[in-house]
Chains A and B, each alone.
Chain A
Amino acid sequence: MQVPAPFEYQRVSTVDEAVTLLDRLGDTARLVAGGHSLIPMMKLRLANFEYLIDINELHDELGYIRAEPGRIRIGAMTRHRELLESDELAAAFPIFRDAERVIADPVVRNRGTLGGSLCQADPSEDLSAVCTTLDASCVIHGMNGERVVSMEDFHQGPYETAVGDAEILTEVRFPVRPRGSSAYEKVERRAGDWAVVSAGAAVWLDEAGLIADARVGLAAVGPNTAGIAGIADALRGQAPAEELWARAGDIAAEACSPVTDRRGSAEYKRHLARELTVRVLRRAVARIDGQEV
């Protein structure tokens, strides 16, 4: 049995309580939500914290999926399983259900949370790629109220985020635009493994059926999940077509920075960035047309 080093444990029941405690304990403390990344790291003694602040009681306050005109707000304590099972979310952003189906396993999905996934900031993390693809923004709560940062600014390096020592991510917001859809695909060595590479795409058409906007997010091919800005530039104003997806795939392959590891060679990952970009763009557009769900 792997056992962590000694630590103290405190359960909190409000966001303010969590922030106050964090402010007092500084970087010796860490929030634990689902705990499926943090606890194994502590058991392996790769991470050692003096204090764990358990925020699972905040699920009542921060576990929600709310559709409003023009946006969807998801509480940071919303669990993977709730994201997977939400028909409302799947209707607006099918990419969520695509991704949740291939994240870890049911045991992890029962506990793990959206906020925990983003704050772990693993370069291979799937929901980070989903949020990047959907141009999400993150609400961070601290002693002096809350601030909102874009996904681009949220991740600041592998396992590093914009969330300060005395702050907590409370909500993620997603803009909803008309005539859009999305898709996600992941290549893994085995079910439940981290991605070798994964890609998300979201596409919006204008009234003429041309591409109004398109976003692609990739995981496991750089220090953080990456939104590929060049793809939006190349696709906007164009009519959906296979050649266009191929060009987007080339851009993705060019823009990413994979490294060789046990999951695969850098060349293979670059190939996958291309292949998966093509597949998810094709699928997202097919979904707009109602051809595929």
Chain B
Amino acid sequence: MTTVASNGHRTAFVDNDRKPTGHGRMLRKEDPRFVRGKGRYVDDLQLPGMLHLAILRSPLAHARVLSVDTTLAEAHPKVRLVVTGAMLAEKGLAWMPTLSNDVQAVLATDKVRFQGQEVAFVVAEDRYSARDALELIDVEYEALDPVIDVRTALSPDAPVIRDDLEGKSDNHCFDWETGDAAETDAVFARADVVVSEDIVYPRVHPAPMETCGAVADYDAVDGKLTLWSTTQAPHAHRTLYALVAGLPEHKIRVVSPDIGGGFGNKVPIYPGYVCAIVGSLLTGKPVKWMEDRAENLISTGFARDYVMRGEIAATRDGKILAIRTNVLADHGAFNGTAAPVKYPAGFFGVFTGSYDLEAAHCKMTAVYTNKAPGGVAYACSFRITEAVYLVERIVNCLAFELDMDPVELRMKNFIRPEQFPYRTKTGWVYDSGNYAPTMELAKQLAGYDELRAEQAEKRVRGELMGIGVSFFTEAVGAGPRKDMDILGLGMADGCELRVHPTGKAVVRLSVQTQGQGHETTFAQIVAEELGIPPQDIEVVHGDTDQTPFGLGTYGSRSTPVSGAAAALVARKVRDKAKLIASGMLEVSVADLEWEKGSFRVAGDPNASVTIQDIAMRAHGAGDLPEGVEGGLEAQICYNPENLTYPHGAYICVVDIDPGTAKVTVRRFVAVDDCGTRINPMIIEGQVHGGLTDGVGMALMEMIAFDEDGNCLSGSLMDYLIPTALEVPDWETGFTVTPSPHHPIGAKGVGESATVGSPPAIVNAVVDALAPFGIRHADMPLTPSRVWEAMQGRPVPPI
């Protein structure tokens, strides 16, 4: 195990640019097209005769749909088609399954259940006419009382939102429990210190730069549907379309071209995609639907919205004994959460954090409200964001009560290296970890002791400076198929590798990049295993007709699952190459040694063949060893043995203007351990992005509603996301604790920074406010909310 520090821009590139890929910090193969503005996104697609679709959405959060009159819209000279919920119902398409075995309306039939819900759609010759015609549709609504406050959603007099579900008489969505309640209660009962805090993780939105959209093209001649769409999971979507629309799966091709950011927003199937398909089926033409910014913010997959009560039990000297939590989860109008079936609360079970506990218990109740559905998005690793926020906030509350340094408290309670693999009290098996060095490195990079000294001086002068610490362990790379499936689809990933006669290769993957750099990272993995330069390896992805089946890119699963598949398929090809080499060199296989890119005869430095020589032989006319087929290719379906558990230590320094209560993030040190690092530059880029997300959530982002259920955050003027001016120069470092079960020891990292940074920032702000006696304040910590906290009245955001 190696521990090497790198520090932001001043990195001394050591260790990491060496093993295991050998190509480490190479520039991204996909960037030449992006930096030239030549990326090809769904909205760039222009097909002959293509029509444009626009969706009419509900202005009300909860209302009965009495009538929909489309007469005037149909009379518009450029309108080809107007479709209502009633029309879809006749075809059995008015409802579709969600990723959590609930159903969601494609177009409203009986009621609208959130503001922005799809009510009807228009297909016209151009997007302007389609949009104009929406105003010609006359919908008569009977307004109903909305359910907006999650805390009263289960009260007996609350209106029932989901009366479409047979026998439904309340707004209860599901209950979920993990850990041992009795044991946890017993530990709490005997603990010296118990600290409780109400902690809200408000509703936020991924807000990718590219909104969601699709082009559907149904070819009536060969009965094949091609759907270009903004999807993070093309294969899973194809199967679901087959199940929903009744089209045979081999007659559906889903293409996910360049994607302008996903963050989980592009995991669900949205009604708009289905509308585009219906539009193309009915008109016989290609139909494009691209939602606008407001539609994206008000109707697509949100994230978080957990109202949590956290409790922690400890000894007087700071040994954490147990953590208990009660969660009220707002799932919106339909349960659209994307999570493995057995995990309705995602991987929230890792709320025990990085600590060695005696007991833990969580009780969760999820409810329906008149808000947009979704529930798991925005780089959250299946609810780990909420779990890490809860534990890292409540541990800080404990430090506050014990008057103990938050780093010292964490160090005292870390799971020790010799305890791995470590089974948590909620049943998760952490594969590997070595936490103390990571925390120490973060302390050292931050100059932690000096910062505390500076803070003490500043407090004397009335200046508000805060230092926040968080330490996270994530569970990423879903997942073992015996435990994890989405709507019955196992979470294993296929991979195919073909080496061409001249030694160039093509690797085909089921995962789809949305900016993560797959075209580079996966080429590097194969390059390392086969010794072919990454420039000679084409990565094909995002097209179900060209790639093997797999579940897609989300939950930081691409490297843990498909990355493993790529390494193993390359080893399979290498094994075959070895057989061919033995024939070429006329020695037995046992006498061959692999040196990256060639096999040589042990003890004879002049007798060797390169992988390129072998590829030509494999496809050539010369003899092959007996029983060896021609060609040099392989395929695999990789079923991960376990999840991977990356960890990290983050330290944030903030200053608060005592007069205006405005928070400035002065410094942020992020030390990540994602096991073996493939391309450190890409990792750092992902970390930088995630940290920026964290600043957004901690300080400004929130999807808010008024009491009537109007979404108050439907534009980027109302839903603020951070700019370069709100973030500091990121200071990054790393440690390397390889995953023992991943073929190259890599763990997922895509969401680490989004998961780990909000608690560090909030802990820093709360630390700065310590002179006011404040132990907790909820996000988003806008100037006004910080000022209210300084006045002794911190208020929850909802």
Contacts and interface: CB of A to CB of B under 8 A. Distances in A.
Interface of A: 1-3, 5-6, 44-45, 105, 187, 189-194, 196, 262-265, 267-269, 271-272, 275-276, 279
A100 to B, nearest CB: 15
Given A190-B720, A190-B726, A279-B659, A5 B784 contact: no
A268 B787 CA distance: 7
A189 to B, nearest CB: 5
Given A1-B290, A3-B131, A6-B132, A189 B787 contact: no
B660 interface: yes
Contact of A189 (B294, B704, B715, B782): B782
A277 to B, nearest CB: 11
Given A1-B292, A190-B726, A272 B660 contact: yes
Contact of B704 (A192, A262, A264, A268): A262
A124 to B, nearest CB: 11
Contacts of A2: 292-294
Nearest to A45: B135
Contacts of B722: 190
A187 B659 CA distance: 11
A157 to B, nearest CB: 21
B128 A3 contact: yes
B132 A263 contact: no
Interface string B718-733: 1010110110000000
Contacts of A196: 783-784
Nearest to B696: A190
Contact of A262 (B292, B294, B712): B712
Nearest to B211: A1
Interface residues of B, number: 33
A271 B43 CA distance: 47
A230 to B, nearest CB: 22
Given A5-B135, A191-B723, A267-B788, 11 more contacts: A3-B128, A44-B715, A187-B662, A189-B720, A190-B725, A190-B726, A191-B725, A262-B718, A265-B788, A268-B661, A268-B788
A189 B723 CA distance: 11
B700 interface: yes
B319 interface: no
A1 B699 CA distance: 28
Given A2-B292, A3-B131, A264 B659 contact: no
Interface string B119-148: 000000001100110010000000000000
Contacts of A190: 699-700, 720, 722-723, 725-726
Nearest to B293: A2
A271 B662 CA distance: 13
A6 B725 CA distance: 37
Contacts of B292: 1-2
Contacts of B717: 193-194
A192 B700 CA distance: 13
Nearest to B657: A187
Interface string B760-798: 000000000000000000000011100110010000000
A281 to B, nearest CB: 14
Given A191-B725, A272-B660, A265 B784 contact: yes
Given A44-B294, A190-B700, A264 B784 contact: yes
A92 to B, nearest CB: 28
Interface of B: 43, 127-128, 131-132, 135, 290, 292-294, 659-662, 699-700, 704, 712-713, 715, 717-718, 720, 722-723, 725-726, 782-784, 787-788, 791
12 contacts: A3-B127, A3-B128, A5-B135, A105-B723, A189-B700, A189-B720, A189-B783, A190-B699, A190-B700, A190-B723, A192-B723, A268-B661
B127 A1 contact: yes
B660 A275 contact: yes
B533 to A, nearest CB: 41
A194 B128 CA distance: 30
A269 B783 CA distance: 10
Contacts of A3: 127-128, 131
9 cross-chain pairs, A with B, having the tightest CB-CB distances, nearest first: A264-B784, A191-B725, A268-B784, A2-B292, A275-B659, A190-B720, A268-B787, A187-B660, A3-B131
A279 B712 CA distance: 32
Contacts of B712: 262
Contacts of A105: 723
Nearest to B661: A268
A266 to B, nearest CB: 10
A191 B718 contact: no
Contacts of B787: 264, 268, 271
Nearest to A193: B720
Q: Which among B135, B660, B725 has the highest number of chain A CB atoms within 10 Å? A: B660
Contacts of B662: 187
B784 A263 contact: yes
A279 B132 CA distance: 50
Contacts of A45: 135
A271 B132 CA distance: 45
Nearest to A194: B717
A107 to B, nearest CB: 12
Nearest to B725: A191
B788 A187 contact: no
Contacts of B294: 2, 44
Contacts of B135: 5, 45
Contacts of B290: 1
A2 to B, nearest CB: 4
Contacts of B700: 189-190
A106 B294 CA distance: 23
Contacts of B43: 1
B64 to A, nearest CB: 25
B701 to A, nearest CB: 10
A187 B783 contact: yes
A196 to B, nearest CB: 6
A190 B715 CA distance: 15
Given A3-B127, A44-B294, A279-B659, A268 B720 contact: no
Contacts of A189: 699-700, 720, 782-783
Contacts of B788: 265, 267-268
Contacts of B791: 267
Contacts of A192: 723
A276 B723 CA distance: 24
Nearest to A271: B787
B260 to A, nearest CB: 13
Given A1-B290, A187-B660, A6 B128 contact: yes
Nearest to A272: B660
A264 B132 contact: no
A194 B715 CA distance: 13
A262 B292 CA distance: 23
Contacts of B782: 189, 263-264
Contacts of B720: 189-190, 193
A190 B135 CA distance: 35
Nearest to B660: A187
B136 to A, nearest CB: 12
B783 A268 contact: yes
A231 to B, nearest CB: 18
A190 B697 CA distance: 12
B132 A5 contact: yes
A103 to B, nearest CB: 14
A196 B660 CA distance: 10
A191 B784 contact: no
A6 B135 CA distance: 12
Contacts of B660: 187, 272, 275-276
Contacts of A279: 659
Contacts of A265: 784, 788
B82 to A, nearest CB: 18
Nearest to A276: B660
Nearest to B786: A268
A275 B659 CA distance: 6
A55 to B, nearest CB: 25
A224 to B, nearest CB: 20
A206 B38 CA distance: 63
